[in-house]
Amino acid sequence: MDRYLIRGFIDGLLSTLGIVIGASTVIGSGQASASQIIISAGLGGGVANGLSNLLGAFMGEKAALSKRYERLETAMLKDGAIKESKVDEEFRDKVLTSGIIDGVSTMIGAVIPVIPFIFAVIFGFNPLSALYSSLGLSVSLFFVLGAYIGKISRGNIFYSALKMGAFGGVTALIVALLRMVI
């Protein structure tokens, strides 16, 4: 389950951060609704990405487990030997749970970079400040996620956190450079 939580969170956070930075090109262009555009683009992209991951994880897990399921039936020398059994029930539960965790964690990760813009709209903050807050919050969460990965993989927590933080930061930098070019 951890792999789906991590995969979904990274996917949601990173893709939405890209949408947020890309949509931020309207900041400073005189449009009063820059934060609303960013909120809309970020949440729309995040929800679509989450639903896509839900389906992808569901189908991927189903395919992977179906092979194991088939091998088990073959070993039992009888087609349908596992139907209606505890193994069959666990198979169906794992497929469903994996898809839900992947999709929901993607959506949660997708909302995080948008939160500063929601506050900007509610409290009248400068959208550029919201952008910097979004970047800081997102990269910080990459560090936290990296530490979590290091902990569950029994690796070096600090190195794992540093690696994930750098990955998030470099991705943000690349998208920001693209923002300057466009």
Q: For the segment 72-122, what is each residue's pLDDT rounded down to a tens digit?
A: 667 665 666 566 677 677 777 877 887 788 778 888 888 888 899 889 989
Q: Which residue has the tokens 């994996």?
A: 98
User: Which of 10-24, 49-63, 97-111, 147-161 is least confident?
Assistant: 49-63
Q: What is the mean pLDDT of residues 60-73?
A: 65
- Answer whether 62's CB lies under 8 Å from 94's CB: no
What tokens appear for 125 in the block? 């903050």
Q: What is the mean pLDDT of residues 49-59?
A: 61
| 29 or 164, higher pLDDT | 164
Chain segment 126-160, per-residue pLDDT in tens: 888 988 898 899 889 989 988 988 888 888 899 98
What tokens appear for 153 in the block? 């993989």
Instruction: Judge whether residue 20 has pLDDT over 60.
Output: yes
- Answer whether 75's CB lies under 8 Å from 60's CB: no
Q: Which of 11, 106, 111 is nearest to 50 (CA)?
A: 106
Check residue 128 and give its pLDDT: 85
Report phi then psi at 154, rounded to 5: 55, 35
pTM, 2 dp: 0.64
